[in-house]
């Protein structure tokens, strides 16, 4: 193990970030080469991960290595330096569509077996389930999360504030969450005092014991929780909220994270769809069962499955579905022009991004008529839903936040080693029958936690190891020291899991010199209020949170402060000493691909990549004690600042500077910064030539880049594009290519 040469591993992912990489990677290589850095690329796209799972179905040339597993191993190497772009966390509809595309391209991979009966199908399903949902991040995140807006980015946002929707005191928008029967209500938590192994089992009313998870190894000091969500309570809750929204004339919207919570949230989503369309489900139960409708995958599943039915029956079903709307509230839309509603597909509305977008828009979502409206935002689980209600209350009272003056809220997130809920998928079950769900010590048989559950309830356990908690506390103290900002640990003593964490945080804080630092622990709602009160006064506050709030807050605050979380610096100091540099905190923007394919304009902003790359260089400079690499990092930061100041970020409008043009300007400013420095003459000479070539050809390059826009292009695939076609589209300027390649 251990790279002798400074090496960056740059990931190829999906959708917009993957497109941007096709043009950016050659620039990264051209700039890194003179400093001796090796830049390797590794494809962890959804398509590549699918292909890697089925080698025996493919011929020799079609096979691809399991790069994700290799990268996972690499995180244990102290010299790891990985740049990780956002990737698709596939919902089942996305997975199926990727499979279909690959099959069409001649890859003989198997269909997804929805109803896996025999062993062969079960094996296929198990392989696909490793690709499903958030399958990449948990493998690579072997460290905690440090996400913040770099000063240059924050300053730019203050000088050039993005638009914010107005909030009115009369806004009827609110957050609705369960008051009982949810995970918060039932949670139990313990810290084990020595390493052991536990199992999850269900004891049925007849006394039969079904072992659902035979072995969960626990380390010394590990925290383990057990909790369930009652199906009955959930469905009742939906019914009440739908009725309330209908009666009061408020639009209904559901916000979950079915991509990341890939086992529990599709179930939660499915109950919402079935409750909304209750009458149609009752009436057509026979046929829905017959064709295997499963709306845990959204309404899209229903509409595609009924295609198999005769036309007249199909029409009758569609009519019944439409009829349901008569006694239901208006539904928020994802795309009103195309008639795509909030319940269409579980990957369309992802809570970490959807709630901030709603808050940024003044508490509005879009109705079927294409107009913005107040909404009842339904987030069933109360554990974290309450923070959004706090923001909504604050905005109703104080108006929208002003990006020109508001403070910043960096996040230090507990995430390492599949911490908390985001690591719970293999320990989450839809309870098959009524009984006692219990966590049992395998060695002693002692029942550690138990719940009375009913058929259909969602029961899960979550874990967080001690070492990541220590590391998280250390990271929070380090960030407080480096930034001078106060830190708030968002921990609720009334939540058993967090009560365990509070004890540990209090203990581990004593390992550090906290003299002069302002470190507090507050429950989530208080922490939100405190942070918002400071924020509106222009004061900065670090939020040290668990894994879910890490995810939620690193979209919420960036979207309010900067307009998008794409502009965040997102570092994961790996616990074994390496570095994982994520780009931005947002997703992979499918709409951007559509615009590229239709109009050859890519509005994706690679700022996140620029920031991550600079941090990655800094990591290498330190590790290899290389002043030269340090210069490269400093120059890149300077170039990024200049790029922002000179307005060379991508425009949303076709015909104007796009991602490719923005990358060109970054290269120009980066080369100029390296040419301007006097610490390394050889580097200076090299980049003087490059800077001159780029500057002399600026007009021509920008013309070449803009001239191709406005026409549809073919990249030969959505999930698995044709590399040659992709490169041709993403690198259309011969002038720029010859300078960069030279
Ligand atoms: N770290 C990861 O790997 C993550 C992956 N995801 C995945 O990404 C996909 C979409 O997720 P979603 O939550 O909708 O979030 P997105 O970030 O894709 O979408 C929110 C919107 O933010 C804007 N945006 C985001 N990034 C950029 C950028 N670099 N430049 C310019 N604008 C940007 C876009 O607005 P506009 O369209 O108006 O231009 C975009 O439509 C899903 O497949 C999800 O699983 C999500 C989160 C993190
Ligand atoms: O892994 C995922 O699906 C999304 C990750 C995410 O949203 C985040 O880390 O902010
Ligand atoms: Mg997120």
**Residue pLDDT, tens place only, 144-177:** 999 999 999 999 999 999 999 999 999 999 999 9
- Predicted confidence (pLDDT) per residue in 116-138, tens digit: 999 999 999 999 999 999 999 99
Residue nearest to atom 10 of ligand 2 (CA): 551
Please state whether beta strands 487-490 and 542-545 pair in parallel, antiparallel, or not at all (unpaired).
Answer: parallel
Nearest ligand, CA of residue 422?
A: 2
Given this model, what pLDDT does residue 742 score? 86
Per-residue pLDDT band for 254 (boundaries 50, 70, 90) equals very high
Yes or no: say if 100 and 88 are a contact pair by the CB < 8 Å rule. Answer: no
Structure tokens at 644: 């922002």
Mean pLDDT confidence for 355-360: 98
Structure tokens at 282: 């009752």
Please state whether beta strands 209-218 and 340-341 pair in parallel, antiparallel, or not at all (unpaired).
Answer: unpaired
Give me the helix-helix angle, 351-360 and 547-562, nearest 10°: 30
Does 134 carry a binding-site annotation? yes
Nearest to 532 by CA among 404, 363, 357, 395: 395
Q: Report the C-alpha dihedral over residues 165, 168, 170, 175, rounded to 10 degrees.
A: 50
Yes or no: say if 517 and 504 are a contact pair by the CB < 8 Å rule. Answer: no
Strand partners, 473: none
CA 7-8-10 angle, 5° bins: 150
Given this model, what pLDDT does residue 2 score? 52
Does 722 carry a binding-site annotation? no
Nearest to 82 by CA among 535, 620, 454, 739: 620
Structure tokens at 553: 């807050």
- Predicted confidence (pLDDT) per residue in 444-482, tens digit: 999 999 999 999 999 999 999 999 999 999 999 999 999
Per-residue pLDDT band for 622 (boundaries 50, 70, 90) equals very high
Please state whether beta strands 188-191 and 411-413 pair in parallel, antiparallel, or not at all (unpaired).
Answer: unpaired
Please, which contacts does 475-479 make with residues 24 or more away whose CB atoms are closer than 8 Å?
Answer: 475/144, 475/146, 475/412, 475/573, 476/412, 476/519, 476/542, 476/544, 477/509, 477/512, 477/514, 477/517, 477/519, 479/146, 479/148, 479/410, 479/412, 479/542
Residue nearest to atom 7 of ligand 2 (CA): 551
If you search the block for the tokens 């439409």, which residue do you land on?
322
Structure tokens at 684: 């200076």
Q: 358-397: string of b/e by CB count within 10 Å (b at 16+)?
A: bbbbbbbbbbeeeeebbbbbbbbbbbbbbbbbbbbbbbbe
Q: How far apart are CA 262 and CA 265, in angstroms?
A: 6
Does 653 carry a binding-site annotation? no
Q: Where are the beta strands (DSSP E) in 90-187?
A: 145-148, 174-176
Does 472 carry a binding-site annotation? no
State the CB neighbour count (10 A cutoff) for residue 193. 9
Nearest to 354 by CA among 379, 384, 328: 379
3-state SS class at 335: strand
Per-residue pLDDT band for 1 (boundaries 50, 70, 90) equals very low
Given this model, what pLDDT does residue 63 score? 97
Mean pLDDT confidence for 189-209: 97
Residue count of the chain: 742
**Higher-confidence position of 274 and 91:** 274
Mean pLDDT confidence for 545-567: 97
Which atom belonging to ligand 1 lies closest to the Cα atom of 583?
A: 1
State the CB neighbour count (10 A cutoff) for residue 171. 16
pLDDT reading at 4 higher than 90:
no
Which atom belonging to ligand 1 lies closest to the Cα atom of 260?
A: 45
Which protein residues are within 6 Å of ligand 2, measured from CB? Answer: 89, 134, 137, 259-260, 352, 551, 554, 585
- CA–centroid distance, 611 to ligand 1, in Å, is 17
Enumerate the domain spans of the chain.
7-142+574-741, 161-255+350-567
- CA–centroid distance, 371 to ligand 3, in Å, is 27
Does 64 carry a binding-site annotation? no
If you search the block for the tokens 């002003």, which residue do you land on?
402
Strand partners, 84: 582
Yes or no: say if 682 and 193 are a contact pair by the CB < 8 Å rule. Answer: no
- CA–centroid distance, 86 to ligand 1, in Å, is 8
To the nearest whole percent, how much of the chain has pLDDT over 90? 97
Which atom belonging to ligand 2 lies closest to the Cα atom of 136?
A: 1
Task: Give the residue ranges of DSSP H helices in 484-585.
Answer: 496-509, 524-536, 547-562
pLDDT reading at 8 higher than 60:
yes
- pTM score, whole prediction: 0.95
Residue nearest to atom 48 of ligand 1 (CA): 587
The interface predicted TM-score of the complex, written ipTM, equals: 0.96
- Predicted confidence (pLDDT) per residue in 567-621, tens digit: 999 999 999 999 999 998 888 889 999 999 999 999 999 999 999 999 999 999 9
- CA–centroid distance, 127 to ligand 1, in Å, is 26
Pocket test for ligand 2, best of 17, 131, 140, 260 (most atoms within 8 A of CB): 260
- CA–centroid distance, 231 to ligand 3, in Å, is 27
Which atom belonging to ligand 1 lies closest to the Cα atom of 350?
A: 13
Sign of the CA dihedral with 400 first, then 403, 409, and 411 last: positive
pLDDT reading at 421 higher than 50:
yes
Nearest to 550 by CA among 530, 578, 572, 567: 572
Given this model, what pLDDT does residue 449 score? 98
pLDDT reading at 33 higher than 70:
yes
Yes or no: say if 251 and 329 are a contact pair by the CB < 8 Å rule. Answer: yes
Nearest to 715 by CA among 701, 732, 702, 703: 732
- CA–centroid distance, 348 to ligand 3, in Å, is 14
Given this model, what pLDDT does residue 268 score? 98
Residue nearest to atom 8 of ligand 2 (CA): 551
Average per-residue pLDDT for the chain: 97
Does 707 carry a binding-site annotation? no
- Predicted confidence (pLDDT) per residue in 502-534, tens digit: 999 999 999 999 999 999 999 999 999 999 999
- Predicted confidence (pLDDT) per residue in 643-677, tens digit: 999 999 999 999 999 999 999 999 999 999 999 99
3-state SS class at 500: helix
Which protein residues are within 6 Å of ligand 1, measured from CB? Answer: 86-89, 137, 259, 347, 350, 353, 564, 566, 584, 586-589, 591, 603-605, 608
3-state SS class at 660: helix
Nearest to 151 by CA among 407, 353, 356, 352: 407
Given this model, what pLDDT does residue 698 score? 98
Residue nearest to atom 6 of ligand 2 (CA): 551
To the nearest whole percent, how much of the chain has pLDDT over 70? 100
Mean pLDDT confidence for 313-335: 97
> Over 34-95, what HEC string results?
HHCCEEEEEECCHHHHHHHHCHHHCCHHHCCCCHHHHHHHHCCCCCCEEEECCCCCECHHHH
Yes or no: say if 294 and 303 are a contact pair by the CB < 8 Å rule. Answer: no
Does 137 carry a binding-site annotation? yes
- CA–centroid distance, 555 to ligand 3, in Å, is 6
Mean pLDDT confidence for 320-347: 95
Does 139 carry a binding-site annotation? yes
């Amino acid at each position: 193990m251990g790279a002798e040469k400074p090496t960056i591993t740059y990931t190829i992912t999906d959708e917009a970030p993957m497109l941007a990489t096709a043009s950016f990677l050659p620039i990264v290589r051209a700039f890194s080469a003179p400093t001796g850095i090796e830049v390797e690329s590794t494809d962890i796209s959804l398509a590549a991960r699918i292909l890697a799972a089925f080698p025996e179905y493919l011929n020799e040339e079609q096979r691809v290595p399991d790069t994700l597993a290799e990268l996972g191993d690499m995180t244990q190497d102290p010299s790891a330096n990985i740049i990780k772009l956002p990737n698709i966390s596939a919902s089942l509809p996305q997975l199926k569509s990727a499979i279909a595309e690959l099959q069409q391209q001649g890859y003989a991979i198997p269909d997804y077996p929805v109803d896996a009966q025999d062993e062969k199908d079960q094996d296929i399903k198990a392989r696909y389930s490793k690709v499903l949902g958030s399958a990449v991040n948990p493998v690579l995140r072997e460290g905690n999360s440090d996400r913040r807006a770099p000063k240059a980015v924050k300053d730019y946002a203050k000088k050039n504030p993005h638009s914010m929707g107005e909030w009115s005191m009369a806004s009827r928008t609110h957050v609705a969450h369960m008051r009982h029967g949810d995970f918060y209500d039932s949670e139990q938590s313990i810290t084990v005092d020595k390493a052991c192994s536990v199992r999850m089992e269900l004891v049925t009313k007849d006394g039969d014991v079904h072992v659902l998870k035979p072995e969960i190894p626990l380390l010394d000091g590990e925290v383990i929780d057990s909790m369930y969500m009652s199906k009955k309570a959930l469905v009742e809750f939906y019914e009440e909220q739908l009725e309330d929204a209908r009666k009061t004339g408020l639009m209904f919207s559901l916000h979950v994270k079915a991509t990341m919570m890939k086992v529990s949230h599709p179930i939660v989503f499915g109950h919402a769809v079935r409750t909304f369309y209750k009458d149609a489900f009752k009436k057509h139960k026979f046929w829905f069962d017959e064709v295997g409708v499963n709306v845990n995958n959204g309404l899209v599943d229903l509409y595609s499955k009924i295609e198999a039915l005769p036309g007249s029956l199909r029409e009758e079903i569609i009519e019944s579905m439409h009829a349901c709307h008569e006694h239901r509230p208006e539904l928020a839309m994802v795309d009103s022009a195309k008639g795509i509603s909030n319940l269409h597909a579980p990957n369309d509305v992802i809570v970490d991004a959807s709630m901030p977008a709603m808050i940024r828009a003044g508490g509005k979502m879009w109705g079927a008529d294409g107009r913005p409206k107040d909404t009842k935002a339904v987030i069933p689980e109360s554990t974290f839903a309450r923070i959004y209600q706090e923001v909504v209350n604050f905005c109703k009272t104080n108006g929208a936040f002003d990006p020109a003056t508001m403070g910043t809220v960096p996040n230090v997130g507990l995430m390492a080693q599949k911490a908390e809920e985001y690591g719970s998928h293999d320990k989450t079950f839809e309870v098959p029958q009524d009984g006692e769900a219990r966590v049992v010590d395998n060695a002693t048989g002692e029942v550690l936690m138990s719940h009375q559950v009913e058929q259909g309830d969602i029961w899960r356990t979550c874990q967080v190891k001690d070492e990541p908690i220590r590391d998280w506390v250390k990271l929070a103290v380090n960030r407080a020291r480096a930034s001078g900002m106060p830190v708030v640990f968002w921990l609720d003593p009334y939540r058993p899991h967090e009560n365990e964490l509070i004890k540990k945080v209090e203990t581990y804080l004593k390992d550090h010199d906290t003299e002069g630092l302002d470190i507090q622990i507050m429950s989530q709602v208080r922490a939100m209020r405190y942070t918002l009160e400071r924020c509106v006064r222009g004061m900065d506050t670090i939020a040290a949170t668990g894994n879910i709030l890490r995810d939620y807050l690193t979209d919420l605050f960036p979207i309010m402060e900067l307009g998008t979380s794409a502009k965040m610096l997102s570092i994961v100091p790996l616990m074994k000493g390496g570095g994982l540099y994520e780009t931005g905190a947002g997703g992979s923007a499918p709409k951007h691909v559509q615009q590229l394919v239709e109009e050859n304009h890519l509005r994706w902003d690679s700022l996140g990549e620029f920031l991550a790359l600079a941090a990655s260089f800094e990591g290498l400079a330190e590790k290899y004690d290389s002043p030269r690499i340090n210069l490269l990092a400093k120059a890149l930061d300077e170039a990024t600042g200049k790029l922002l100041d000179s307005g060379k970020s991508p425009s949303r409008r076709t015909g104007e500077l796009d991602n490719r043009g923005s990358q060109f300007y970054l290269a120009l400013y980066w080369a100029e910064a390296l040419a301007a420095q006097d610490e390394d003459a050889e580097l200076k000479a090299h980049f003087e030539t490059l800077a001159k070539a780029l500057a002399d050809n600026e007009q021509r390059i920008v013309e070449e880049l803009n001239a191709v826009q406005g026409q549809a292009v073919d990249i030969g695939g959505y999930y698995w594009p044709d590399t040659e076609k992709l490169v041709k589209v993403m690198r259309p300027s011969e002038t720029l290519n010859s300078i960069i390649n030279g």
